[in-house]
Structure 1
């Protein structure tokens, strides 16, 4: 059997992944140190700066914006939701911390996601394209953070059981949010329908065999930034879309593309409702925990807080969420890896072509420079997929 990598390729892959492994080991401690700095030193001065900035903006632009028809309605709605003045300070406080954190991580992000990717031939991105993608991500993140501040802290200031008022619609939204997946992806990459031809016909026949309905097969043009292959299903029900990036069409033969689609089809057949319901309940529990943190902070008077719903608790809430995610990652990783194994078994059964399935995995490993045997601690930390060496060995085992 042909080896997965030559010794030279394997050495290059190890050199490529080593910085990422170091980052995975160090980053949690950096995050904890940053949280300690924020909570121990920076909350008060950042809050004072946000208060001063909000007051200056109000003096400069407030009178005019509160009279203009559109902005007047916005200001009125925000005042009613917040219950009093101060929402501008809250939003600026959150954004100041977010921007400072982004700037702190910027050198590492540029190195890992641009320099290192180019050094090992994994990226086609230009400096302008990289900056534009980063900017779009920052804008989307800022909008999400603003919505969090207004929704969570605005309700927490005015409603006794705010966690229930906010949690129920969020939980319900999570149950159907995946229907929007095909549209979220298009924020970053252009997509176009896969042209009519043998490949589309074979994918359609394979999905008919699997009894999976879908709306279209789309080609996502990721090669402008990345040389990685990718295939996935987006959406559900009437919005379900099969997405193949243009790199996989360049690198894979038709039977190998079918094997990749068959693997992804295995995820469609997973029992998803139990997981979605559990996730929704977990969100409710998290919001209840946050409510307890807000009230505890007010009782103890931390950082000068006198009432629940004070934005100065945001770094504490972020730290607790980070710790919960970190502790849950090993368990969620075990579940995710088993889902991937089951999707491999399903794909093999659906195609009935273990040779094509093996070639698909081998090419994916080579093109994406996957470490066939990553460190065991990294796997246990919460890797979502089994190591590629393990997946290929499972195909080779009768």
Structure 2
């Protein structure tokens, strides 16, 4: 059998991944140290700065509270928060996020832009890279602001806020997958796959798999990356098969069908138990946060003067970080097993082991996948099995 990589390709892959592995080893300690720094030193200065900026904005822009258009917005925000001060709370949360983002910005740029370009994986210009980073930061700022107003505002008004907030959000999680087709469109253009043999064969394959879908789309990711990709987005009436333009360029029709068949295996996974467990875990987490916020208010941690004080937000971030750190190895193990099962499903659906093997080999070469990453990295929570192990697990063709 032909080797997965030549010695030269393998050396290139190791050079590409070595900094990534170092970062993966260091990142948990760096993130923990930064959270402890914010909690131990920066909470009070950042809070005082946010209060001062909010007061200055109030003096200069207070007239907006009485203008016909903006008056309704400020009235709604005041009611959501329950008292004056929501502006300072949002500014505190955003300033904390900005501090962390700026601190890690050089590292993020080096890994996401410099390293990717050095090894031929990115096609972005500095301008498009900066624009995508800006869009990501704006989305994060919106999510953080919604979290502050929604969670802290509700906690100030209702004793059982965690239940009032947790139940609808948990239900929203159950149906959130229906929105998946629209998220990536914020970054990439999509267009329907043209009529032709490939589209016909995909439709026939999905009929055989008994999977209904709305469309097959081509996602133009080549403007940013040279990686090939295929995935299913959405649920029910919004389910969409998405192929990026790279996969259509690099793979034959049989190999594209093998990739689609693998993704079809994920559609047939039993997702509801995991979603139900996630929803229950969310409610339990919000209850734990309620206990934590009450303890902080009683003891005056980080200068907190009342329940649901915004100065506890970094403490919540620390709790979430520790939970994710401990949960990721378990979730990664389940995810890797689901990938193996999707491989087996694809082989049952197509009966074409040779094309499936070629698809994995080409994907590994184009995406510069390490065939044998360090075992600690796999156990730390890799979502996919190492590509070398996936290929080795295939039956003979």
Q: Would you say same fold, with TM above 0.5?
A: yes
Question: What pairs with 1:197-212 in structure 2 (closer than 5 Å)?
Answer: 197-212=196-211
Residue 330 of structure 2 aligns with which residue? 331
> Does residue 38 of structure 2 align to residue 33 of structure 1?
no
Question: What pairs with 1:54-93 in structure 2 (closer than 5 Å)?
Answer: 54-62=54-62, 64-93=63-92
> Does residue 171 of structure 2 align to residue 172 of structure 1?
yes
Number of positions where the alignment pairs a residue of Structure 1 with one of Structure 2:
397
Residue 345 of structure 2 aligns with which residue? 346
Residue 47 of structure 1 aligns with which residue? 47
Unaligned runs of 5+ in 1: none
In 2: Cα distance, 1:127 partner to 1:304 partner: 42
Q: SS at 1:184's partner residue?
A: helix
CA drift of 1:287 comes to: 0.6
In 2: Cα distance, 1:304 partner to 1:107 partner: 32
CA offsets, 1:94-121, max 9 Å, x none? Answer: 0000011110110001100000000000
In 2: Cα distance, 1:394 partner to 1:327 partner: 29
In 2: Cα distance, 1:108 partner to 1:293 partner: 33
Residue 159 of structure 2 aligns with which residue? 160
Question: What pairs with 1:1-398 in structure 2 (closer than 5 Å)?
Answer: 1-62=1-62, 64-396=63-395
In 2: Cα distance, 1:77 partner to 1:114 partner: 41
CA offsets, 1:120-159, max 9 Å, x none? Answer: 0000000000000000000000000000000010011111
**Aligned structure 1 segments of 4 or more residues deviating by more than 3 angstroms:** none
In 2: Cα distance, 1:268 partner to 1:315 partner: 37
Alpha-carbon RMSD: 0.7
CA drift of 1:277 comes to: 0.5
Alpha carbons 2:333, 2:381 under 8 Å: kept = yes
Alpha carbons 2:370, 2:386 under 8 Å: kept = yes
In 2: Cα distance, 1:363 partner to 1:102 partner: 35
CA drift of 1:320 comes to: 0.4
CA drift of 1:396 comes to: 4.2
Unaligned runs of 5+ in 2: none
In 2: Cα distance, 1:213 partner to 1:345 partner: 21
CA offsets, 1:165-217, max 9 Å, x none? Answer: 11111001001010010011111100000000000000000000000000000
Q: SS at 1:242's partner residue?
A: strand
In 1: Cα distance, 2:97 partner to 2:368 partner: 32
In terms of mean alpha carbon deviation, does 152-161 or 258-267 score higher? 152-161
In 2: Cα distance, 1:287 partner to 1:258 partner: 43
Q: SS at 2:218's partner residue?
A: strand
Q: SS at 2:394's partner residue?
A: helix
In 1: Cα distance, 2:98 partner to 2:18 partner: 28
CA drift of 1:307 comes to: 1.5
Task: State TM-score, norm by structure 1.
Answer: 0.99
Q: SS at 1:223's partner residue?
A: helix
Q: SS at 2:124's partner residue?
A: coil
